[in-house]
Structure 1
Amino acid sequence: MAVQATRPTSEKGVSAPRVNQRQSLSSIMRRPEAGALIATVSIYIFFAVFAGGAFTATKGTATWLNPAAELGIIALPVGLLMIAGELDLSVGSVLAASSMTLAIVSGYWGNPIIVGILIALGLGLVVGFINGLIVTRSKVPSFVVTLATNFALSGLALWLTRALTGSTSVEIAPESWAKTVFGSYVNGDFEVAIFWWIGVIVVVGWILHVSRFGNWIFAVGGDLQSARATGIPTDRVKIGLFMASAFGASLVGIIQTIIYNSAQVANGQAFVFNSIIAVVIGGVLLTGGYGSVVGVMLGTLTFAIVGQGIYYTGWNPDLANLFLGVLLLIAVMMNNTFRRMALSYGPRKKKASTS
């Protein structure tokens, strides 16, 4: 008698392929970038429909991709810091101070631009080290420490710039190689900063998702005391991340200075909360221990698309902040919802049989 082949089943008669589909859905929805991907695609389609062809054209794409690149260079290391459970509100002042340092050293004083670039980057690293040292030694929340640094460095930069140059704006004439590396445009529309952003994505992605240091970052943000108990150098991890955050802000300050051939002491403050918003939209939890590089990248794109797309619709540009506020709230709710749904999709445990 022939035996008819049957489809493997799990408990309660559910077919194995269906269980696998549920597990696959659970795996996808558990990813930190799941909500960010939905948001990016939805927002882009929304503005593509309501803003017309100008938004999707080459020049229109450049209007949101260029600011996304600059914001992304800062948002990625800020994202690492937030995964580790900390915040950095000093990036705005670090950007402005580094920008003014380059302009004064190589523009006002006439030193080679490489000297100004190295000093500007060094300034960022020093500020980041100080932030990390104060946070880890004093145990004062990083929100307070970096907010204080933001104000202090802003005031110091303003005072020194006026004392040294008598102005709050300094011009610079970058050397040709510096203009090519930091301030040129591809096809006349796209900033070379986009390639810097791609490089940062690759480096930060390797650090977070491949290297042992990435495991340390997740551990520190997930449970600081347990991470310390297992031998992870938690203080060094945090100090290094604060330095990376400030370094990213310094790099953007250099890029902006060379693109516009000048520096303004008041530049950079918009990056303080914009970077945090982009990271949160990208699926990073404010409580730490959860996030991804792809998610932060998508969150940055979403933020930039909303910020620039509103101008192509012909609507009142004052609505841009309304869109961003609603988007931020929805993103946080989506991230939490996806995590709860992901947990509910896991395979059910079998009940213990009784005899």
Structure 2
Amino acid sequence: MLQPLRVFKLQVGNYGRGSSPKQAEDAEHAKCSICLNIWHDVVTVAPCFHNFCNGCFSEWLKRSQEKHSIVLCPHCRSAVQFVARNHFLHNIEGDILQADSSLKRSDEEIAHLDSHASIKSPLVLCTGRKAHRKRARLPADDETDVGDLSCPQCGIELAGFQCSRVTVHLQCQACGGMMPSRNNISVPQHCLGCDRVFCGAYWHAQGVVGISTHPTCSLETLKPISERTITRIPTLAHERNQHEQDVTDRCIRQMGRTLQDVISDWITKWDNREIDRTRMPLNHAEMITAATHICNECHEKLVSFLLYWFRISMPKYLLPTEASQRQDCWYGYACRTQHHSEEHASKRNHVCRPTRGTSNNT
């Protein structure tokens, strides 16, 4: 099996590292060979490393899966084993369009492409070739070659589903294991906060827990916000300012409450849209509710965001005495001096909005 994530990080596609995107001839190397326009939300396929628009290749992938046993590259016709969004080339794409606005597509075209784009995270595709490594032993009555067994549902039916030769697979960001990409089920396979893939919720729904032949995650890796608990203030909270974290912790204790109590209250406020989501550090902020499945890392970001609102809405008289007597830092949460000056971090209040610029406050 191709080690997709490792190989992909070593490649940037056909666009040379030393190329200047402002040169006219470079635009010719930044075109999707399906629509013949400059890439939009560029994806790269492996092992040939040709590049396409996300929407264009997503449609090609869909048609290929319906008609063929393997997916071929639209450019060179080699078997595609892996496809992922290419963030390096996405920057090149932006530079080219900024240098020559005539190459930009209409809003309608962009909306059409985006509506067909299905590649959010790296996909691993079966090639139909026989595996060259040990694989899980199939039941005695089923000795059919199913190619490279990349997940527990390759060759074995579980919960009414079995992978075929053309099943696209997702690689879990936590355990590195594989699961089939399934868009027609209600079980989430992506964290809505970061768009990364996690297999915990999927395999739990399939009744697969702790299988020795394939890596699988626990249910904890991807679960609804409402089912999560928090017992400590995340290190990300208050821009990693330990002094402000201590103040928040003391406030909660003085109120006779737990951190979980406070977060539960503010999640309700979030659901009721009582909070400004502008600075929300998660993707798809407008779509996220208490029922949304997110990963552990995104949950800590959400908790940190809610603790900011908990503190900024708290009257000064409820703060510990020494904390209530501090003056607000001009640069508020955006202050950079708080990260390298302990004295400044503790002397001023940094859980407040900036009132002057964004540069260092000395």
The question of a shared fold, defined as TM-score above 0.5 by the shorter chain, is answered with no
Answer 1 or 2: which has greater strand percent: 2
Answer 1 or 2: which has greater helix percent: 1
TM-score, scaled relative to structure 1: 0.24
Considering only CA atoms, is the larger Rg found in Structure 1 or Structure 2?
2
TM-score, scaled relative to structure 2: 0.24
